[in-house]
Structure 1
Amino acid sequence: MPGGKGAASAAAQTAPTEPVKGASRCLVIGPEKSASGKVLMLEATADGPEIHLHGGGFDNAGFGSTGWGIPTMGRGAQHGWLLVSGSSEAGTTFAEKLNPKNRYEYWYKGAWKKMDHRTETFRVKDGAPVTHEVAWTIHGPVIAWDVENGTAYSQQMGVHGRELDTWVAFAEMGRAKSLAEFREKGVDRLGWNLGACYGGEDGTIAYFEGGALPKKAAGVDPRLPTPGTGEYEWTGFLTRDEKPHMIDPKQHYFLSWNSKATGWSQEGDNARIGATFRTWLGDRLAKKGEALTLLDMRDINGKLFNALGAVDRNQAAPDFFAPYIRAAIDVSADPEVRRAGEYMLGFNGLYQDRDGDQRYDDPGLTLYRTWLEVAPRMLFGDDMGDWWSTIDTDRYLTYQSSLLLRAFQGDAAGAPLAVDYFNGRDRTAVMIDTIKSAVAEVRARFPGKDMAEWKQPIFWKYFDASLETPDRPQMAEDAPEHRLSAVMRLGPTMAPHNGGESWVGLMEIGADRRALYSVVDAGGQNLFIGPDGKGNPHLADQTMMHETNELKKIDLSPERIGKNAKSSLTLEYRPSAR
């Protein structure tokens, strides 16, 4: 029976079991910044199979999100296309006013309206059946109940009822013969909020925000549930021209990483995007890049991996805080503060172990990473306890370092904070105190060692989490993994953590360069293990390639595919006569 003790219980009903994972980034370089004069495209995203379709109007290869059955991004007949999850406001949580006499009725436009509801029973092998109640209002499924306070929370999503449209959009984006077809038959058909990145053999690059994005009633606060009594309904959806889009931008490149497409677009519930958002490094590298090659793009991918933006989304380069750290160095009489500050400013933001000693190369990394935890605790803790961090607990996109930067920027921040968390103290004095505390915290982890030796152990990616040891730590953001190939010792059980996403795709878009370079750490679709306990030959053959940022070539020429094939199987379907 749905119920609970107030809003806290309702919130608990909707809390995810672990943070959302697997979002994507795309970097598209226009011909003006490319050595070959061709468009360059780079993607990194979640794990999933690779698919090559040829025939029936299809001639594309790429990544297929699990369950879709077709490439959702990759290399098409005359273009490349990549996708990222959108961060726009694509849904609304409505607070439904319940009938005190019947919790399955809610007040809507002056009358009690009945919910659709049923109880599903799931049979469990060797266990008791499990029942789950499903209820639906005019807005969408009920996701939480607060019967005690006469409220149910339902969720209206633009994608509801448009799921198959999204599948059609994926198919049409892959087989489009022009940019116009890509947009009209593909992007405009999307129900799911996605960003579509395009690069054509003719040198055109483009970005389109897709999905059914609602126009909300005036005056509602999207951060809070909207009253579901009928006065605050959606008034329609954004048209194609009202959604963010651009063709051949003047900077000759663009980067999207589940980020806001524009400064004016409304952020979704899970988006908290500030100055230190993880696009900082990719934007810097693309902006200064000239005559870029495929190898340059692979190098950019390695750096983006090593900045940890895919895993620890609170990381940001120390130079964001450089003016305030430098001021502390200049006025402090404490030699440890000055030395630690210099080390922090010398850290380039990349988690690298180039000498292979299983420790990160730079003591500034250790100090700065610790400072990013110590400084907000000291600055915000007396006013809000640990809320500065717990508010991000279940969010994929975190905001802590951006909030810290806004505090130090003061009135110069893009959106100055309304509260003086320094409590009247000089900002430089507070910076000195935070550096002192960070030094004290790190020193305790390296007893008897000089600051130059404060190099923390590298993080490891465990494919069998039961093997984790304190000297080979896993990142806190990584959910424990028990990959069957690792558990059965058919593949690597662990690897140094490169910080990257699972699938990487790289393309140069030319008529004479019809290939996709890619790697996927879990073997893509080749995850089969037979009853005899033997795995597919490709079960884990890309795992260590992925860790070292190596890519394989997927040729799209039918002649070369046939020439290089190890084996082939033809399936012929002949429907029976009616």
Structure 2
Amino acid sequence: MAQIEFTFNWFYADDHDIAMFSSGRLPKRPRGIDSGLPTVGTGRYEWRGFLSPAQHAQVINPPSGAIVNWNNKSARDFGAADNNWGRGSIHRSLLLQHALDRNSTHTLDSVVAAMNRAATQDLRVMEVLPALAAVLDTGPAPTPRAAQMLQLLKDWRAAGGSRLDRDLDGKIDDPGAAILDQAWPNITDAVMGPVLGEQLAQLASLMTRDNAPSSQGSAYLDGWYGYVDKDLRTIAGQRWRARFTRSSVAVAT
């Protein structure tokens, strides 16, 4: 498996053990490189070879008793592809993790139930709304209607944040879904706009504000969820292990 050059997360399970290994041909980069920014092409910052198998993300029988992966980062402090800017404090794998955490022990049926729960939840209301509400609740709502909409979102989250249409009328059952679908672009821009200014559109060109659910069967893989969550929690006074950094790059023409 260590000889496989394409990036892939491999899993193993039997009646006693579980394990994960992330394969790939992963370069060693010199210090000072930010993979999301242009790099000076003088040769000073060329790769220094490739990581050994022992340096790859891997685990055998973790203390948690579970290995959860839904295309999320494979390990703490482990990077993604250079064109991936969506890794952060919020990822859809949290939905699956929290669904599994509802039970201390599992059967195959309960694991499938956790998968179904996570697959039908709205990531934004389950994982980003707490930070948004914490900031909004520090002051009065601008209008009674705004207060009502926030309460509907809180109620939706308390009910599980499902996006299912159980009565098959063509609409998601909970009204919170319609509220958040409409409000999300304005929320993201209100949070990120004061910081990014004219660069807001540049971020949108690199990554969509919302990787919304669709008939294609996948959602919430990329989006501004972590940016919004982390910025709001910073406003609320939370301290982070890795704070946002701001960098400028000058390009000579």
- The interval holding the TM-score normalised by the smaller chain is 0.7 to 0.9
The equivalent of 2:180 in structure 1 is 368
2:238 is aligned, of 405, 412, 419, to 412
CA separation of 1:389/1:243 partners in 2, compared to 1, >3 Å: closer, same or farther?
same
Mapped to 2, the partners of 1:216 and 1:327 lie a distance apart of 39
- CA distance in 2: counterparts of 1:352 and 1:399, whole angstroms: 21
> Per-residue CA shift, 1:134-170, capped at 9, x if unaligned?
xxxxxxxxxxxxxxxxxxxxxxxxxxxxxxxxxxxxx
The alpha carbon displacement at 1:381 in A equals 3.7
Matches within 5 A, 1:278-297: 278-297=92-111
Larger relative strand fraction? 1
The yes-or-no answer on 1:403 pairing with 2:217 is no
Q: State the shift of 1:232 in Å.
A: 3.2
Residue 262 in 1 paired to residue 75 in 2?
yes
- Describe the shift of the 1:218–1:254 C-alpha distance in structure 2 as closer, same or farther (beyond 3 A): same
- Count of residue pairs the alignment pairs up: 226
Q: Are 1:207 and 1:245, in contact at CA under 8 Å, matched by a contact in 2?
A: yes
Please tell me whether Structure 1 or Structure 2 has the larger radius of gyration of its CA atoms.
1
C-alpha contact 1:372 1:401 (8 A) present in aligned 2: no
1:250 aligned partner, one-letter code: P
1:344 equivalent to 2:153? Answer yes
Q: Report how far residue 214 of structure 1 moved.
A: 1.4
SS at match of 1:246: strand
Matches within 5 A, 1:90-169: none
User: Residue 197 of structure 1: which of 11, 17, 30 is its match?
Assistant: 11
Query: Unpaired runs of 5+ in structure 1?
Result: 1-186, 309-314, 420-578
AA partner of residue 236 (structure 1): G
Secondary structure of 2:88's counterpart equals: coil
Structure 2 equivalent of residue 306 of structure 1: 120
Conserved? CA contact 2:68–2:97, under 8 Å: yes
Separation in structure 1 between the aligned mates of residue 72 and residue 188 of structure 2, nearest angstrom: 24
Q: Flag structure 2 segments of 5+ consecutive residues without an equivalent.
A: 212-219, 247-253
Q: Map Cα deviations across residues 71-96 of structure 1 (whole Å, 9 max, x no partner).
A: xxxxxxxxxxxxxxxxxxxxxxxxxx
Asked if 1:277 corresponds to 2:85, the answer is no
**Matched-pair contact (CA < 8 Å) for 1:318–1:344:** no
> Residue in 1 aligned with 2:35?
222
Cα distance change of structure 1 residues 364 and 405 upon mapping to structure 2, 3 Å threshold: same
TM-score (norm 1): 0.36
2:140 counterpart (321, 331, 337): 331
**Distance in 2 separating the partners of 1:353 and 1:300:** 19
Take 1:268 and 1:358, find their aligned partners in 2: how far apart are those partners? 38
Is the contact made by 1:406 and 1:413 (CA closer than 8 Å) also made in structure 2?
A: no
| 8 Å CA contact retained: 1:214, 1:235 | yes
How has the CA–CA distance of structure 1 residues 270 and 371 changed in structure 2, closer, same or farther, with 3 Å as cutoff?
A: same
Stretch deviating more after TM superposition (379-388 or 399-408): 379-388
TM-score relative to the length of structure 2: 0.77
Q: In proportion to residue count, which structure has more helix?
A: 2
Superposition RMSD in Å: 2.8
Tell me, in whole angstroms, the C-alpha distance in 2 between the residues paired with 1:413 and 1:317: 22
Deviation at 1:331, TM superposition (A): 2.8
DSSP-derived class of the 1:316 partner:
helix
Alpha-carbon offset, residue 413 of structure 1: 5.1
Cα deviation digits, residues 73-130 of structure 1 (max 9, x gap): xxxxxxxxxxxxxxxxxxxxxxxxxxxxxxxxxxxxxxxxxxxxxxxxxxxxxxxxxx
Matches within 5 A, 1:533-572: none
Q: Tell me, in whole angstroms, the C-alpha distance in 1 between the residues paired with 2:135 and 2:34.
A: 39
Task: Tell me if the contact between 2:132 and 2:229 (Cα under 8 Å) persists in the aligned partners.
Answer: no
> Aligned match of 1:386 in 198, 201, 207?
201
How many angstroms apart in 2 are the aligned matches of 1:388 and 1:225?
A: 15
